[in-house]
Amino acid sequence: MASLQLTQRLLWFAICPPQGSPRRLLCYEKDMLGPNLWDAWCSDGRPMPLTKVACIAMEAIAILERIHLKGFVHGDVKPENFVLGRPGTADEKKLFLVDLGLASRWKGTSSNQHVDYDQKPDIFRGTVRYASVHAHLGRTLSRRDDLESLAYTLVYLLIGGLPWQGREGDTKSFRVCREKMSTSPK
């Protein structure tokens, strides 16, 4: 499991051990989890209350920290990949991060140093709406890229949309990247 070269047939993968337990990679069957944030809240475009977004932010940062401490970046942080626990269980309000299909190492296994920087501008991996600028540019992803994607996710939850949402066409990723680079945080 450490290599994350796993096929995703019936399993979704989540990293989120219970508080106080050892950090480890957990696998859950899809049926063992509840709805994702998109299905539970976002699908109709309504904004989420600030207090809920703040709670999600705190849990999401803790989840990403656990992934990053293991030497990995998720690579596809978005509302659809944050899943609540199964309804009717003790975990029904707990947040899980699933779908490690684009996860990669940010830290070398033997050197414990950051992996070598690389850039392949013709290769885009991720979800255009939430991807970091580095992902759009085909750069090697790092922890900051997960955090940038989380920021876009939280803004989306808070206001119900993003300025570059709805772009279409063959150059969509390029145009969205340019818009992200020129958008003010205000």
Active-site hit among 39, 44, 76, 99: 76
pLDDT tens digits for range 100-125: 889 988 887 777 788 887 777 777 88
What ranges do the domains of the chain cover?
32-182
Identify the CATH assignment for 32-182 out of 1.10.510.10, 2.40.50.140, 1.25.40.10, 3.40.50.150: 1.10.510.10
CB 25 within 8 A of CB 108: no
CB 104 within 8 A of CB 114: no
pLDDT tens digits for range 146-171: 999 999 999 999 988 899 988 888 78
Identify whether 76 is a catalytic site residue.
Answer: yes
pLDDT band, residue 18 (cuts 50/70/90): very low
pLDDT exceeds cutoff 50 at 5: no
Q: What one-letter code names the amino acid at 48?
A: M
The two three-digit tokens of residue 68, written as one number: 């990053």
Q: What is the pLDDT of residue 123?
A: 78
What Cα–Cα distance (Å) separates residue 15 from each residue in 3, 63, 101, 132, 161? Answer: 14, 7, 13, 21, 27
**Would you say the pTM of this structure is higher than 0.85?**
no
